[in-house]
Structure 1
Amino acid sequence: MDYLEFKISCSEEFREILMAELSDIGFDSFLETDQGIDAYILSDDFDGRRFEDLVNQYKDLADLIIEEGKLEKKNWNEEWEKNYDPISVDDLVYVRASFHKPLEGYQHEILINPKMSFGTGHHATTYLMLKHQGELAKEHEGKRVLDVGSGTGILAIMAHQLGAAKIEAFDIDEWSVENGNENFELNGLPVTMGHGTIRDIKLTGPFDIILANINKNILLDEMEIYVSLLSSKGYLLLSGFYDSDIKDLSKKATELGLKLIKTGLKDSWAAIIFQKP
C-alpha cells in the first residue's frame, strides 16, 4: 500500500497545530521543513472530504500552499535517514539507528532501523513515553506489559530492557509489524508483533502496564478496552496528543475510574500516566 505525500507550506506558528489536526484525520508521519511540513498518510486511510474541510479552515489563516504526491514505501528509508536524529532521554536511554554512533553515559540503548520517518511530534511523544517508562522502571520488573499501536516497537523494547517478564505488542499497519519485528530482533526481544486493532487481537489480561502512543480520537475510542485489560494498581501511559487534549482524555479516564498520576509536556505534545485503583 502506498503513502500519499502532502508538502505543506504554512506560517511557522501553525506547524504544530496542523500536525495535530492532520493526525486526527489519519496522517501518521510528519517531517518539518523550512517551508512548513511534509505530511504522510496511507492511501486507504485518506478521507478527501475531511482533508478538504481542514484545508479550507486553515488556508487563509496559515497561508497554506499544498503539493500532493505519492510516495512508495521503498523511498521511506532515504527520507528517514536524511531527517531522523537520535532520541535521548536524560541518562535513561539513547535511541539510535545503525548509521549513528553509539554514545556512552546512558543506562539503556535502543537500536532501530524504521522504514518510516519520524516527525517532530513523534519524537516528542516517544520521548515523553520513554521518560514516563523510566519513572516507572521498578513497576516494569517481572510484569506484563502491552504496547498498543507499537509502530517501530521502541516502547516495547524499553519495557523489555526495564525487566518486564512478558510483553505483547501489535499494530494495525502490516509495514509497521514487519519493521517492529526487525527491531525486536535487533534488540534481543523474543516477541512477535501482532497485526490488527485492539478489537482484532485476542488479548488476555490483566496487564500491569499498558502503553498507547497513538492519537486522541483512537485513545478516547479504545480507552474502555484498555481499562478492562488493566490490572488493579496497573498503569496506563498515553501519548500522541497535544496539551490542549489533556482535559478530554482525563475526563474520559476519570469516568472509567482511573486516577491521574502525572502529565508531561514537550514541544506542546503531551503524555499522561493514569493508574487503576
Structure 2
Amino acid sequence: MSVESEPRYPFVIVDVSAEESDELAATLFELGASGVEERDDQTLLRGAGAGRVTLVASFSDRAEAEAAVEGLREIDAALAPRIEEVVGDAWRDAWKEHFAPFALTPRITVAPPWVEAPQAPEGGHVLWLEPGRAFGTGLHATTSLVAELLDAHAEQLAGKPLLDVGTGSGILAFVALLLGASRAVAVDNDPDVIEVVQENAARNGLEARVEAREATSEGVKEAFPWVVANIEARVLRPMAEDLGRLVAPGGWLILSGILESEHDEIVARYGELPRGLRHVETRRRGDAASADTAWVAILFAG
C-alpha cells in the first residue's frame, strides 16, 4: 500500500495549564473529538513541560479537525491549536517502545506482556499489564500514588474485598489482589475497557477474583471495606455522596486524580458527608512548589 492510499488520522493539539485542561478537554469533545489524550510531566508521552498539559484530540477527518481549530480560536484567541496527522496504523503500537518493566511499589513490578519476565521483588509479584484502549499503565503519578497507599496498608487490605471505580486497565484492582485483597469489583462507564480488564485478569491468573462491570458508582449497591477512585477532582466532587455510601463502616477510601491546589477542597467535601470520612494520609508527587503541577492521593477512613 502506498503512503497516499494509507489511512490518515488527524489530531488537534493544544497546550494549556493544568487548571484549564479538564474544561478544554470537555470543549474538544463538544467540538466533535472522538477521544482526548492528556499528556503532562508524568505521562508515558510527555506534555509541553513547565507544568502545562498537552491535549491531543482525535477526529474522524481533516475537515472536522479544522472546524475544531476554528472553534477553539473563537473561544479563546490566545490558544494556539495545531493539526498533526499520522499515516497508517503503525502509530497505534508506537507507545509500546516506551513501556518497559518498572517497580510500581516495593512489592509490585509492572511488565508488559511483550517482554521477557523480569525478576519479581523479594516477597512480591510481577503484574502483567497491557492497557490497550484503557487508561492505566501505572506510570502516571495519579495511579502510582494509589498503588503505594495500598502497598503501605497491605495488612489492613488482606482478606478484604475492594471496589475500583473508574478502573481503566484494572491496574489498581490487580494491585490490591496481589497484595492480598480477597476479590475486586472493577467498574467503569466506558464499555470498551471491560474487555481490557478481563484480558489483563486472565494474564495474571486473577479472573476468578475480579468482576468487571460497565457501571457508574450509582449502579453499585454493595458497600466495601476498601474503595479506590482514580478519576479527577471535577468528577470526584459530585460523586462524594455515592462514594461515601460505598465505603463500609470502618472501611477505607482512596481518591486520586487530584492536584495539590484541589486537595483541601476534596478533604473538606468528603469530611462533611453525613458519615464524616476522616482524612488519614496524603501522598504527593511532582513539583511541591507548584500546587497546579503536583498530584496527590488522599486516604480516608470510614
TM-score norm. by structure 2 comes to 0.72
Question: In the superposition, relative to structure 1, how do residues 136 and 29 fare at CA in structure 2: closer, same or farther (>3 Å)?
Answer: same
Q: What SS is found at the alignment partner of 2:117?
A: coil
* Equivalent residue for 1:7, pick from 10, 13, 17: 13
Question: In the superposition, relative to structure 1, how do residues 42 and 7 fare at CA in structure 2: closer, same or farther (>3 Å)?
Answer: closer
* Equivalent residue for 2:95, pick from 80, 92, 96: 80
Conserved? CA contact 2:72–2:81, under 8 Å: no
Corresponding residue of 1:264: 283
Larger Rg: 2
Listed one character per residue, the Cα deviations across residues 235-266 of structure 1 (whole Å, up to 9, x for unaligned) are 10011121111111111011111111111111
Conserved? CA contact 2:188–2:194, under 8 Å: yes
Whole-angstrom CA distance in 2 between matches of 1:272 and 1:115: 27
Conserved? CA contact 2:129–2:137, under 8 Å: no
Corresponding residue of 1:197: 216
Whole-angstrom CA distance in 1 between matches of 2:230 and 2:185: 15
Q: What aligned pairs does 1:227-242 form with structure 2 within 5 A after superposition? A: 227-242=244-259
Answering whether residue 141 of structure 2 is matched by residue 153 of structure 1, we say: no
**Structure richer in helix, relative to its length:** 1
132-141 or 94-103, larger mean C-alpha shift: 94-103
Whole-angstrom CA distance in 2 between matches of 1:54 and 1:101: 50
Conserved? CA contact 2:11–2:59, under 8 Å: no
Give ranges in structure 2 of 5+ residues lacking alignment: 1-8, 30-35, 40-44, 61-67, 287-293
Answering whether residue 73 of structure 2 is matched by residue 67 of structure 1, we say: no
Question: In the superposition, relative to structure 1, how do residues 206 and 118 fare at CA in structure 2: closer, same or farther (>3 Å)?
Answer: closer
Question: In the superposition, relative to structure 1, how do residues 140 and 119 fare at CA in structure 2: closer, same or farther (>3 Å)?
Answer: closer
Q: What aligned pairs does 1:36-185 form with structure 2 within 5 A after superposition? A: 37=54, 39-40=56-57, 52=72, 56=76, 59=79, 64-67=80-83, 77-106=92-121, 107-116=124-133, 123-185=140-202
Listed one character per residue, the Cα deviations across residues 66-99 of structure 1 (whole Å, up to 9, x for unaligned) are 2266999x77741431443444234221112112
Whole-angstrom CA distance in 2 between matches of 1:86 and 1:118: 17
Conserved? CA contact 1:88–1:127, under 8 Å: no
Whole-angstrom CA distance in 2 between matches of 1:130 and 1:67: 36
Q: Residue type matched to 2:280 in 1?
A: I
Q: Residue type matched to 1:32 in 2?
A: R
Corresponding residue of 2:263: 246
Listed one character per residue, the Cα deviations across residues 113-154 of structure 1 (whole Å, up to 9, x for unaligned) are 121376999611111011011011011111121000110000
Q: What aligned pairs does 1:191-230 form with structure 2 within 5 A after superposition? A: 191-199=210-218, 201=219, 203-230=220-247
Question: In the superposition, relative to structure 1, how do residues 177 and 198 fare at CA in structure 2: closer, same or farther (>3 Å)?
Answer: same
Question: In the superposition, relative to structure 1, how do residues 68 and 194 fare at CA in structure 2: closer, same or farther (>3 Å)?
Answer: farther
Listed one character per residue, the Cα deviations across residues 185-226 of structure 1 (whole Å, up to 9, x for unaligned) are 111222231012222x3x332200001001111111112111
Q: What SS is found at the alignment partner of 1:193?
A: strand
Whole-angstrom CA distance in 1 between matches of 2:270 and 2:163: 18
Q: Residue type matched to 1:198 in 2?
A: S
Conserved? CA contact 1:208–1:230, under 8 Å: yes
Q: What SS is found at the alignment partner of 2:174?
A: helix
Q: What SS is found at the alignment partner of 2:271?
A: helix
Q: What SS is found at the alignment partner of 1:168?
A: strand
Question: In the superposition, relative to structure 1, how do residues 23 and 79 fare at CA in structure 2: closer, same or farther (>3 Å)?
Answer: farther
Q: Residue type matched to 1:95 in 2?
A: V
Q: Residue type matched to 2:278 in 1?
A: K
Per the TM alignment, residue 34 of structure 1 is displaced from its structure 2 partner at its CA by 7.0
Conserved? CA contact 2:251–2:301, under 8 Å: yes
Corresponding residue of 1:32: 46
Question: In the superposition, relative to structure 1, how do residues 156 and 21 fare at CA in structure 2: closer, same or farther (>3 Å)?
Answer: same
The higher relative CO (CA closer than 8 Å, separation ≥ 6) is in 1
> Size of the alignment, in residue pairs?
258
Answering whether residue 289 of structure 2 is matched by residue 274 of structure 1, we say: no
Whole-angstrom CA distance in 1 between matches of 2:18 and 2:155: 34
Give ranges in structure 1 of 5+ residues lacking alignment: none
Conserved? CA contact 1:146–1:211, under 8 Å: yes
